Chains A and B, each alone.
Chain A
């Protein structure tokens, strides 16, 4: 990745963003950072199982993108999606409880960290297969057109997904059928441990859209204002022109791929360079510089977030485990057999 690629080479002129939105975006970014750090701690204590993928460093891309949409616009994401749920307004208690695998979790303990969904907030889920959710989002866009609604779908995926064939299939159909879909590539520059420079023949990932005659641009994913502006434009374009578009937000995750990744292959110099552009610190400067909030107000806000996440951890710890008797719930909408040991079989043979 060349230095020039980290510049705002295609960033739009920022739309005017009101003070209240800026304060909310800062609050969400800090909430997500706090949540992720506490989740890591709870993982180390053994309270969270499976894989845990943290989005620390990516808060600007997540929050800016989500904030620019209407709350009813459907979003899908990858398995690194705690932030999307929180940005969308999911209850941190329910998100943490899901990570703990409890009944009070967003998905009643059936999904875990990688499979959060909050339909009430039009968050259509985190998916564990790279690229797998992209055609689903196109289907949500198809449904919007089918019903003559004015919603916009945003599908968030990583740089790794741009090398999955299903992205090309999905972009082609979205453009062919004029679907209101924003293809939002959060390019954190690594597919697990493999640098994009070792995985993509052209590391300017936004150019993938050009093959489908779809407008696209690369923006600075560490700058929440730039992200907000770009998604705001793309949403407007989707709503008025009924066309898809692609945004590539260049960002960096501070942690390894998941908690089990010791992160010893990425260059220390590279990590330090990106950490120097920390989205929370840079945005705090903007918020203070523009007198959007005082240092005291930000301090209060941060303290409130810490308290909020403390509460979420307590809530998750105190929540009941999922009863084993509920093992087979929701395999089907109308189950014919609640016995998970022989779910394929009709009763009638046991008499």
Chain B
């Protein structure tokens, strides 16, 4: 697959959006639209999860769908994450297209055996006799004082696993288009939503506007430093770019949109031009997403880099409850700006 060096892939980027336009919908509603359209398009698609039907979802992403599609296709489950994720895998092996909602990414840990040992592996270990056309959606991230057990960013865990595809949308347009791609994909897709983005508004595409996996997007063009980020961290990166613009520093912000496959081509092309790179990652630093992207960039761009790659991660602690501590543990725009300054300063040493 050839990646497009062009930036906007034919649709508006997240910065040029007016939230007051009538076509503007929330990230949450964008996801709902994607599921509604795919449920209408394909009778094999069904939704399953905790409180997604009558209660309309913990974050109301499935609002209205039970009324429209009925309990056969919008299935409320017991609190049995391993059980119903495994059920989805079995249903997918027989050709259905389950879209499983885990109430949050935190509960995926309970289902990890099913995801890693079954969803990701059955196709390979059975010699290609079956596919698992399943999506597991789940919101993650921190910032709402939910404490240590409800604040995970596990992009790195899932990205580690061959057999999975991992999607991390940052805008309503991408949320809708990528979820539709995920539902139509023949392999298991981990679809990581961000709790902090559900209310974010922007334009969305139509029923056949899809985004292929592995195709990143340049959210902001710049010349001095490339900042790589996904999901909510894209917005943090853009805020940092605004701060730095006032200092005469021009940042290019790249949103790979999927972390497996990763659009290294787009990232490397940018870094070879800017010669500097900072990666922003809401997860922990050790063996994390930023570490992985940095390793790829070192391999692809070593001779072009003028300074070590900067990483901005969550603090290496379980997420604290106290508001100020939590904020201090998360990557902030100031942290990203400082990382860019430090990276650029290394050149002058």
Contacts and interface: CB of A to CB of B under 8 A. Distances in A.
Contacts of B267: 349
Contacts of B94: 74, 139-140, 143
Interface string A96-112: 00000000011111110
Contacts of A344: 159, 259-262, 292, 296
Contact of A166 (B83, B130, B261): B83
24 contacts: A107-B127, A107-B129, A129-B113, A135-B85, A135-B87, A137-B90, A138-B86, A142-B87, A142-B96, A143-B94, A166-B113, A169-B82, A173-B77, A173-B80, A173-B87, A329-B128, A330-B123, A330-B127, A333-B123, A333-B131, A336-B261, A348-B263, A348-B264, A349-B269
Contacts of B129: 107, 117-119
Interface string A119-148: 100001101110011111111111100100
Contacts of A330: 123-124, 127-128
Contacts of B159: 344
B127 A111 contact: yes
A169 B87 CA distance: 10
A309 to B, nearest CB: 22
B239 interface: no
Nearest to B259: A344
A345 interface: yes
A133 B83 CA distance: 10
B124 A331 contact: yes
Interface in B1-58: 1-3, 46
Contact of B2 (A106, A337, A348): A348
Contacts of A132: 86, 113-114, 117-118
Given A111-B125, A142-B87, A348-B266, 7 more contacts: A106-B127, A129-B113, A135-B114, A146-B72, A173-B83, A333-B187, A336-B261
Contacts of A193: none
Interface residues of A, number: 53
A348 B215 CA distance: 11
A176 interface: yes
8 closest A-B pairs by CB: A348-B265, A139-B90, A135-B86, A169-B83, A107-B127, A136-B90, A169-B80, A330-B128
Contacts of B2: 347-348
Given A139-B89, A139-B94, A107 B82 contact: no
Interface string B114-141: 1001100011111111110000000000
Interface string A312-351: 0000000000000000011111101100000111111110
A289 interface: no
Interface string A207-223: 00000000000000000
A115 interface: yes
A129 B265 CA distance: 38
A172 interface: yes
A170 interface: yes
Contacts of B113: 129, 132, 166
A140 B122 CA distance: 14
A169 B264 contact: no
A165 B95 CA distance: 27
B146 interface: no
A348 B72 contact: no
Interface string B63-102: 0000000001000011010111111111111111000000
Contacts of A346: 1, 3, 214, 261-265
A141 B94 CA distance: 10
A138 B260 CA distance: 29
B91 A143 contact: yes
Of B80, B259, B266, chain A has the most CB atoms within 10 Å of the CB of B80
Given A173-B77, A331-B123, A332-B187, A135 B83 contact: yes
A180 to B, nearest CB: 13
A117 B94 CA distance: 13
Interface in B209-227: 213-214
A312 B266 CA distance: 51
Contacts of B130: 117, 119, 124
A108 B3 contact: no
Contacts of A142: 87, 90-91, 96
B186 interface: yes
Contacts of A127: 117-118
B310 to A, nearest CB: 19
Contacts of A105: 127
A345 B296 contact: yes
Given A136-B89, A329-B128, A173 B84 contact: yes
B318 interface: no
Contact of A111 (B95, B126, B131, B263): B126
B249 interface: no
Contacts of A329: 128
Of B86, B118, B163, B259, chain A has the most CB atoms within 10 Å of the CB of B86
Contact of B78 (A74, A165, A172, A349): A172
B127 A332 contact: no
Interface in B177-195: 186-187
A119 B94 CA distance: 10
A99 to B, nearest CB: 14
B193 to A, nearest CB: 21
B268 interface: yes
Nearest to A172: B78
Contact of B300 (A106, A117, A140, A350): A350
B91 A139 contact: yes
Interface in B256-288: 259-269
